[in-house]
Amino acid sequence: MFPVLLDLKVVQVPAYGFFVALGYLVSILWLKASRSEMGLSDDQFWFVIYAVFIGALVGGKLMFLAVEWRRLLSGELRSFADLRYGFVFFGGFFGACLAGLYCRRRFNLDYLATADHFGPALALGHAVGRLGCLASGCCYGRPTGLPWGVRLGSHPLSTTPPELWGVPLHPAQLYEAAGNLVIAVLLIKAVLPRIRRGGLAPGAAFLGYVALYSCLRFGVEFFRADDRGFLLGLSVAQWTALACLTAALVGFGVIRRTPPRRGEGGS
């Protein structure tokens, strides 16, 4: 593992921050190529990007505070001491969705049609960002005897507990990165083209992302060691994933009653 990619003495480039930034860049480049399809002007596009970014940042931090409030009060964690860490993905997702609602009202956007492009973009960026988790030692997996177990720790900036340093662990970060990449490819290659042809209603790609990622996260949580049981043996993330999956399934029921748009040459 390498929590610090580059150390220039006066400044350090953390691996976590680097990969998260790279994930945002990958997402933005893909969205930029789809800007006209989303019906956004250049100014509107960048406003939406910044709004969603701020919403994700605030939402991720607030959910972290809600989940880890006991450790924060005890002084074990210092959430605002380092903005590179201390974020919860689902909180960031909810914050981004709320920011999207604000943009919808400001620019009179078709929320679901626009979100259809943000779903795959989010999966792409998340796949890259999880590499930063692996590099810094956060979101670590449970001990395993499998041949692909990874050994984390042994670095003063590692976020893996010292008792797990050098112990083979499930590469939960890579499980999630690979799953997100598969989701992105599926949505881009199979779902979005059907929406363009009118075979699926707007919103299908976004809701598909929510449903698929919820299933992925629910499964990956069984391999993680940094998230203790919350209720009935399931973690907070698993309960949140179940709630998101339920909401996505309800959403599919709603859009099925909405006549899909017919694109040029649609079938």
Q: Domain locations in the chain?
A: 1-8+127-140+150-155+165-262
Residue 9 backbone phi and psi in degrees, to 5 = 70, -60
What is the pLDDT, as a whole number, of residue 26?
Answer: 96
Cα 233–chain centre separation = 23
d(CA 90, CA 97): 11
d(CA 211, CA 168): 31
What is the pLDDT, as a whole number, of residue 265?
Answer: 37
d(CA 71, CA 89): 19
What is the pLDDT, as a whole number, of residue 163?
Answer: 87
What is the pLDDT, as a whole number, of residue 152?
Answer: 85
SS3 at position 234: strand
> Average pLDDT per run of 10 along the chain, which is 267 residues long?
71 82 94 92 95 92 76 59 65 94 92 93 95 88 93 78 89 96 97 93 96 97 79 88 96 80 44
Residue 242 backbone phi and psi in degrees, to 5 = -65, -40
